[in-house]
Amino acid sequence: MNDMTPIARTTTLKDWETDQEVRWCPGCGDYAILKAVQRTLPELGADPANTVFVSGIGCSSRFPYYVESYGFHTIHGRAPAFATGIKLANPQLDVWLVTGDGDGMSIGGNHTMHLLRRNLDCQILLFNNEIYGLTKGQASPTSRVGTTSPSTPMGSVDRPASPCAFALGSGARFVARGFDVSKNLPEVLKAAYYHKGAAFIEIFQNCIVYNKDVFDDFAAPKGADGRQLWLRDGEPMLFGSEKSGGTRGIALDAEKLTLKVVEVIDGDWQAAGVIVHDVKNRSVAHMLVELPFGPFPMALGVIYDDPRPTFEAAVHEQNAQASAGKTANLAALLAKGQTWTVGGTAQDPI
């Protein structure tokens, strides 16, 4: 599936820092994500000269200015289209796309969908803070019903979109979740990088000014193990511990064709019917991204990872096929079709 040859580290975290002052609000979750990325890139053996960070507009989209690589801060919602042009023009480049819930799910939802269905090889980091931060706190397409904001003073009435369900529905072949301060985020980033094709990661990110601690119900350290389901390929879907009310697991409710939470007694998860995570199981992935938080823990980590041929490879293959055995003779091209000659300097029609 993925190339797991040992990586030669040629850079350190410092090499990925720019001389630009970071301008996010103090305490913003974006700092943690930036550090996680800068820490992960050396471990991937990435080359700054061969790396491009592309972003749209919003707090998250300032990201490229702080990474010492090539960076293109584009226009609102359109980063996927720029990334497509970049990757088609030069498939050798490592392309990272940084977007947010407003940029990627609202104004740019259409582009996100098409990039995923085409399967362009890139990593998409969607910072989901469930709010429009840079425009001072309006409700976003992922805000929960009832979110009060300057544009929804009586509470929002529109139902939120689920980025991971959207991604799967759009045909994504890699879907993962993490959150800003999670120690597991680098592991998720690595898996996304190793996935050849469009790798979609929803990263819950704490906007401490306009939507403070909105993810605390599952992200707060205290009792976290009972509210976070970290998915790992080939391992049973277990969460919780004695401290957080007992070990539990996810099992299939065969009658209703849904997932259910089961108690695991004495560690015997098999007896409890807990299922083993298979990153290639698309049906289960659909169920995992739709699990309602509360009755269920938050599904995190690599939910789905099953590569398919990439868009840029298909385009280049077709370009090569169409060009095979042909020469680019401009003079011949101009004189193509039915031609005629006038006067004494007749040339032979080509």
Partner 1 sequence: MATAFADDPAARQARPADDSSPEAVVVRFAGDSGDGMQLTGGQFTLSTALAGNDLATFPDFPAEIRAPQGTLFGVSAFQINFGSTDIETAGDAPDVLVAMNPAALATNVDALKPGGLIIADSGEFTRRNLDKAKYAASPLDDGSLAKWQVMAFDIGALTLESVKPFGLGNKEALRCKNMWTLGLALWMFDRDRAPLIAWLKAKFAKNPVLADANVAALNAGHAYGETAELAGPLKQYHIAPVDSAPGLYRTVTGAEAVSLGLVAGAQLAGLPMFFGGYPITPASAILHHLVRLKEYGITTFQAEDEIAAICAAIGASYAGQLGVTSSSGPGIALKGEAMGLAIMTELPLVIVNSQRGGPSTGLPTKTEQSDLYQAIYGRNGDAPLPVVAARSPADAFECAIEACRIATQFMTPVMLLTDGYIANAAEPWKVPDVSTFKPFPVCFLEEKNGGDGELLPFARDEKLARPWIKPGTPGLMHRIGGIEKNPGTGNIDYSPTAHQTMTDLRKAKIDGVARSTPPQEVTLGETSGKLAVVGWGSTFGPIHQAVRRMRRKGFDVSHIHVRHIWPLPENLGALLKSYENILVPEMNTGQFKTVLRDQFLVDAKPLTKTSGQPFTIAEIEAAIGAFFDRIPGNEGGEVDADTTQLPSIKAVNP
125 three-state secondary structure: strand
Residue 18 makes contact with partner 1 by CB under 8 A: yes
Alpha-carbon torsion, ordered 282, 283, 286, 287, to 10 deg: -140
Residue 342 makes contact with partner 1 by CB under 8 A: yes
- Write down the least CB distance from residue 317 to partner 1, Å: 11
Of 45, 48, 171, 236, the one binding partner 1 by CB under 8 A: 48
Of 41, 46, 83, 97, the one binding partner 1 by CB under 8 A: 83
d(CA 272, CA 240): 15
- Write down the least CB distance from residue 89 to partner 1, Å: 4
Residue 20 makes contact with partner 1 by CB under 8 A: yes
Judged by beta carbon, residue 111 or residue 196, the one nearer partner 1 is 111
Q: Stretches 3-11, 67-75, 137-145, 255-263: which one binds partner 1 (CB under 8 A)?
A: 67-75
Contacts of 124 (CB under 8 A, 6+ apart): 80, 97, 99, 104, 112, 115, 116, 198, 199, 200, 201
Residue 44 makes contact with partner 1 by CB under 8 A: no
Residue 105 makes contact with partner 1 by CB under 8 A: no
∠ CA 47-11-192, nearest 5°, is 55
- Write down the least CB distance from residue 103 to partner 1, Å: 13
Number of chain residues interacting with partner 1 (CB under 8 A): 61
d(CA 321, CA 248): 54
Residue 234 makes contact with partner 1 by CB under 8 A: no
Residue 52 makes contact with partner 1 by CB under 8 A: yes
- Write down the least CB distance from residue 11 to partner 1, Å: 12
State the binding string over 289-328 for partner 1 (x if CB under 8 A, else -): --------------------------x--xx--xx--xxx
- Write down the least CB distance from residue 137 to partner 1, Å: 21
Contacts of 230 (CB under 8 A, 6+ apart): 184, 239, 300, 301
Phi, psi of 321 (to 5 degrees): -60, -45
Residue 88, token pair as written in the block: 């088609």
Judged by beta carbon, residue 27 or residue 85, the one nearer partner 1 is 85
State the binding string over 112-141 for partner 1 (x if CB under 8 A, else -): -xx---------------------------
Residue 14 makes contact with partner 1 by CB under 8 A: no
Q: Are strands 94-100 and 122-128 parallel, antiparallel or unpaired?
A: parallel
Diameter of the chain measured on Cα atoms? 99
Listed residue (40, 343, 305, 309) closest to 172, CA to CA: 305
Chain-centre distance of CA 6, in angstroms?
A: 24
Judge residue 273's burial from the number of C-beta atoms within 10 Å of its C-beta, 0-12 exposed, 13-18 middle, 19 or more buried: middle
| Residues engaged in binding partner 1 (CB under 8 A) | 18, 20, 48-50, 52, 54, 57, 64-65, 68-75, 78, 80-86, 88-90, 92-93, 110-111, 113-114, 315, 318-319, 322-323, 326-328, 330-331, 333-347, 349
